[in-house]
Amino acid sequence: MNNSFPILCFKHCKSKSVFCKTIPDTCPLCNCSLSESYIEPFVLPYCCKKAADDPPSIVLKPTQGTFCNDYNLSKDMHIGIVNSIGHLYEFDHRGITVNNFSDWLDCIVVHIIPESWYIHWDQTLFSLIENNKWNSCNYNVQSMNCYNFIIEFLQKLNFKDFNFVTKEQVFEKLLLPRLRYTLKYIYIYRSLKSKPYYIA
């Protein structure tokens, strides 16, 4: 986990949620004792996971740094694939890299298939990485990058309607729903770095 503190959440006197690093003695909204909370405090689930912890999946991370501490919408992201036994594959200027787990400790994990598809997922990935087109000499930051790797994998996988052609389609249809929670978490986390509460 690459955040320095857990985010706690509770409700007391109103419908608003109070996010904080430590539970106060009194409610910041009504200044009354928190001896009886409307909703018991709970820890907000962290927005990211280690890439290998929850296979098989598509995984996404900032190209540099971590989501909580470094990411904003103007920065590039890197994407990879995890097979059913937790091996990680990514494509960049090095070509295909396998199991570079130290760079994938803080990423968004997206599941798209049921267990009955695990063998096909692994076979599709294996056939993809065997293709010489993914050699390092073919890498191009604009036209032959990690998103092209994912797009071709999803096209060959042929699961449901995940037959994307562009990076934008992959991002909007596959990644954005999961990214929305991450962005909310990041906003609350960064707010709590400079103040004791965040009210939502």
In the predicted model, is pLDDT for residue 38 greater than 70? no
DSSP helix/strand/coil, 18: strand
- Output phi, psi for 128, to 5 deg: -70, -50
Say which residue, 22 or 34, is predicted with more confidence. 22
- 135-165 residue pLDDT tens: 999 999 999 999 999 999 999 999 987 878 8
Beta-strand relationship, 39-43 and 77-82: unpaired
Q: State residue 2's pLDDT score.
A: 65
Say which residue, 39 or 101, is predicted with more confidence. 101
Q: Which of 79-88, 146-155, 164-173 has the lowest mean pLDDT?
A: 164-173
DSSP string, 53-107: GS-SEEEEEESSS-HHHH--TTS-EEEEEE-TTS-EEEEETTEEEE--GGG-SSB
Q: Sheet containing 108-110: give its strands across.
A: 95-98, 88-92, 77-82, 57-62, 108-110
Asked if 39 and 11 count as a contact pair (C-beta separation under 8 A), the reply is yes
**Mean residue pLDDT across the chain:** 92
- 92-133 residue pLDDT tens: 999 999 999 999 999 999 999 999 999 999 999 999 999 999
Average pLDDT over residues 28-41: 81
In the predicted model, is pLDDT for residue 1 greater than 70? no
8 alpha carbon, distance to own chain's centre: 20
